[in-house]
Amino acid sequence: MTTKIPVTVLGATGVVGQRFVRRLANHPLFRVEHLAASERSAGKRYRDACAWRLDGEPYGGLGDQVMAEGTPEFALSPVVFSALDTAPASELEPAFARAGAMVFSNAAAFRMSPEVPLLVPEVNAAHLGLLDLQRHHHGWKGGIVTNANCTATVLVMALAPLHEAFGVEAVMMTSMQAISGAGYPGVPSLDILGNVIPFIRNEEPKVEEETPKMLGCFTGSGVELAPMAVSALCHRVPVLEGHTEAVSVKLKGNPSLDAVREAFLNWKPEPQRLGLFSAPAVPIHVHTLEDRPQVRRDVEQDEGMSIHVGRIRVCPILGLKFALLGHNTERGAAGGSILNAELAHAKGYLR
């Protein structure tokens, strides 16, 4: 394209907002028109309002850009990326959608709304059809698309090819989650160093509720939840980036391990077929070494947008078990939302 689509980043001073800015700085489809945050940041240069926490060029090269107040009156663009917390997202995201913007949200506020796509493009691209229902119901020209909880995102990317090939009946997942998932500054050092915390507020219910929605079928009038049982046990561990998950799955027909490996290896979902800019060429890397995947060696591959599966073996209870790894703040946050927007553009939902 000769003209890039203007976008707004809401919550641009936070770490997820910074990841949006860094990814958008050289994006072939989008250009940042508005950096927006709270009233106290409005009118300041981005470099003065934001404590930059990431590698690479500081402020994504936008340090001198003047920040706007994060409302449609001051920061409206055709596309809005939201890194807001749940409470402000509940109010502001519908306001932007009413004003005509397509909002791609990292917040949890509307994930389980029956009219809002809970989107992982490789898994459920057809769920974008919910936007037609959403716009009709609310009279919006814009709309809201959410990405999932970061732990659930990694999980469903591994489950999707298995569900397509065989059918998933039950899942038991135990997570070991990076401290970056708690935001900045995250978990206090005296709590996390040399420790494992077996509780992350609301995390287990999110994984258990969101997974059947994402793996469900779009019927034209809504999403029919996938009929599977999901049990999640979530833990915070002293790792900076990357969620590791120990997954056991019951599949229909009890397929062989070789058949399972082939399902992972041969999976080429829609974003890869379309060649979307942020889509990794290989969505799932299947490891054969017995001690992989590992956070330090694997999680940053493909700019954090692919997932990693290893130790595929028989589970004596459910039939199949494997180790799983994914990048929580890239695939599970900013990168995932941007890929959602790329898919929406490819499907004609961006004006």
Minimal CA–CA distance to 322: which of 191, 141, 200, 162?
Answer: 162
DSSP 298-323: HTTGGGGTSEEEEEEEEETTTEEEEE
DSSP 28-96: SSEEEEEEEE-TTTTTSBHHHH----SSSSGGGG-TTPBPEESSHHHH--SEEEE---HHHHHHHHHHH
**Quick check: is 243 catalytic?**
yes
Catalytic residue among 243, 285, 287, 308: 243
Tally the residues of the chain.
351
What residues pair up with 75 in beta bridges, in sequence order? none
Minimal CA–CA distance to 146: which of 181, 98, 108?
Answer: 108
What residues pair up with 45 in beta bridges, in sequence order? 66
Please answer whether residues 86 and 201 qualify as being in contact, where contact means their C-beta atoms are separated by less than 8 angstroms: no
**Do the bridges between strand 5-10 and strand 30-37 make them parallel or antiparallel, or are there none, so unpaired?**
parallel
**Quick check: is 150 catalytic?**
yes
Cα 267–chain centre separation: 19
Minimal CA–CA distance to 154: which of 250, 298, 349?
Answer: 298
Catalytic residue among 34, 50, 127, 150: 150
Q: What residue has token string 């999110």?
A: 206
Question: How buried is 137 (Cβ within 10 angstroms: 0-12 exposed, 13-18 middle, 19+ buried)?
Answer: exposed
Please answer whether residues 267 and 327 qualify as being in contact, where contact means their C-beta atoms are separated by less than 8 angstroms: no
Which residues have a catalytic role annotated?
150, 243
